[in-house]
Chain A
Amino acid sequence: MDEKFDCIIVGAGVAGLAAAMTLARNNMKFLLIEKGEFAGSKNVSGGVLWGSDLAKLVPEYWEEKDGGWERFINHRRLTFLDDQSSFSIDFKSSHFNETPYTGVVVLRSKFDRWLADKVENAIAESDYAMDSFIATNIKVDEVLMEDGKAVGIRTGEEEFHANSVIIAEGVNNLLTRQVGLQDDYVPADHVLTGIKEVIRYDQEQLEDRFQLNGLSGMSNEYIGYATDGVEGGGFLYTNRDTISIGLVLGLKDLREKRKSPHDILNHFKDHPAVRDTIRGGEVVEYSAHVVSSGDKRIMPKELYKDGVLICGEAANLLMNAGKAIQGMDYAMRSGILAAETIVDAKEKDDFTSNTLKNYRKALDESYVMKDMNGFQDAVHMLHSPEMFKDVPNLVCDFGRKFFSIKNEPTKKSRKMLAESVKEHSSYWDLIKLGLKGAKSL
């Protein structure tokens, strides 16, 4: 294959596939390279795909009976845990039953493969039906550079040439480091280790347990006891006949507190409230993956270079600002924007930074960087010890007092709250936290 592609995309995750779809629709000649044996085979997420960009890629995806997604979210829950109690903020609304859904749960091995099929269809309908490809089972060893400009990739002895390269390799971004956009060694400060089990149930049992109707689903985040004192939080998402349950744990904090993620996962699952939520069922998969924290300090120095664009989690585009863990939506949008930049570059016949810098501009103007920029304070606050220790303990302690009924004079709830505050924190600390919170959200 001597022919030159308009673009080579590395990685068939959400970002790479979104880029590929956009390129195919714009009649570009491209090669999408994936190291796994099929798209999604190496990918792990929590995971909810938020937002409605999916409908842009696959219009009316919800019409498909056995689509690549599991369930749409119409039930959100945030749970504070101490060692014995759980106190939840719970919101469920049929408002969220409307299409396009604003969040769908996915299992990546299934979802990415399904999305790759849709990309294949788009390729078949494009002008380059015979010249654009998704190639699996290929590990990219190197991005080829010529006079500081990316001109293709090398895999083993083979080289593939292109006017541009989109790096969508995920959080372990070795190629991003190789092209010099990120330091060779990235410290653990702003990454977390995600760890997960997929647990299977009889589908009817699952639907009864979680009050699911048709393909509706629930997302539940947990803070407090879940992480055994380590920075981070827990999650539980309902799939069709399984649940995804897991934790994200600050890696630096794990190292300093000398704890094992798999031990903490059992600690979480053994919490009395969690135990009741997940009882029965059979664990069918155990997985783990590094996750970015959302702290901008870990982002690559720049997201473009002559001939190269970085998108998705390779650019550390992932954030938890307290409302949801977002990442796949950022990946999708950044992949679309990267591909649109390539389409523009081809029109101008200029694949240098001159044109490619517009990717950064488009991303900055999109909700992705606006959120990344706007919620940095929230990210810092969520990773502070008060949030994964004092606050959940306080909330649960207050809950225990508030909901206990004894045959004795009942205290006013303000007094109960004062007692809980005194025991687990202080008014001053809470005021500081409240001010920070008000500012950050």
Chain B
Amino acid sequence: MKLLKLTERLGLVSYRNQAKSEIKPHIVVDTDICNSTCPHKCTTYVCPANCYTMDEEGTVHFQVEDCIECGTCMYACDQGAVDWNYPDPEIGRGVTWNFG
């Protein structure tokens, strides 16, 4: 069978508050740490939803929109850059599994 790209996989995920523009991010990342002292920038490859990306200059960026609340980055980051929480059901964008 055809192997899916990550974007296609994430397209299958149902999120709540998808259309809300004023959503509050449930994970706050101090990318200054990623981009100064972090020796491995591992979140850019271990995150199953690719919320952490690296641009051509090697700078790490974080966007919470595709987050599936798995917790991987909270454990993977050993530099203290990731402040992890669950999204607030009212004002956060969160995942809702159809199968789980």
Chain A residues at the B interface, C-beta cutoff of 8 Å? 35-37, 40-45, 107-110, 112, 137-139, 156, 171-172, 174, 185-188, 191, 193-195, 197-199, 242, 244, 251, 254-255, 258-262, 266, 269-270, 275, 278-281, 283-290
Residues of B within 8 Å of A194, CB to CB, are 70
Q: Shortest distance in angstroms between A81's beta carbon and chain B's nearest beta carbon?
A: 17
Interface string of B72-100 (1 = CB under 8 A from A): 10111010100011111110001111111
In whole angstroms, how far apart are the Cα atoms of A427 and B31 in the complex? 49
Of B48, B50, B68, B75, the contact of A186 (CB 8 Å cutoff): B75
B75 touches A269 (CB 8 A): no
The list of the 5 closest CB pairs from A to B, nearest first, reads A108-B100, A286-B9, A288-B48, A109-B100, A290-B71
Chain B residues at the A interface, C-beta cutoff of 8 Å? 1, 3-4, 6, 9-10, 12-13, 16, 40, 42, 45-46, 48-50, 68-72, 74-76, 78, 80, 84-90, 94-100
Minimal Cβ-Cβ distance residue in A for B9: A286
Q: Shortest distance in angstroms between A200's beta carbon and chain B's nearest beta carbon?
A: 9
A287 touches B100 (CB 8 A): yes
| 26 A-B contacts (beta carbon < 8 Å) | A37-B89, A42-B96, A109-B99, A109-B100, A137-B89, A174-B86, A185-B80, A191-B75, A193-B70, A197-B4, A242-B99, A254-B76, A258-B42, A260-B45, A266-B4, A269-B3, A285-B98, A286-B4, A286-B9, A286-B12, A286-B13, A287-B13, A288-B48, A288-B68, A288-B72, A290-B75
Interface centre among B16, B46, B75, B98 (most CB of A within 10 A): B75
B1 touches A278 (CB 8 A): yes
Of A36, A199, A266, the contact of B96 (CB 8 Å cutoff): A36
In whole angstroms, how far apart are the Cα atoms of A225 and B86 in the complex? 34
B96 touches A255 (CB 8 A): no
Residues of B within 8 Å of A284, CB to CB, are 12, 98-99
Minimal Cβ-Cβ distance residue in A for B97: A109
Minimal Cβ-Cβ distance residue in B for A138: B89
B89 touches A44 (CB 8 A): no
A139 touches B97 (CB 8 A): no
B40 touches A255 (CB 8 A): yes
B16 touches A37 (CB 8 A): yes
Residues of A within 8 Å of B97, CB to CB, are 40-44, 108-109, 285, 287
B71 touches A172 (CB 8 A): yes
In whole angstroms, how far apart are the Cα atoms of A138 and B12 in the complex? 25
Q: Shortest distance in angstroms between B40's beta carbon and chain A's nearest beta carbon?
A: 6
A255 touches B12 (CB 8 A): no
In whole angstroms, how far apart are the Cα atoms of A151 and B90 in the complex? 25
Known: A139-B86, A197-B9, A254-B46. A279 touches B75 (CB 8 A): no
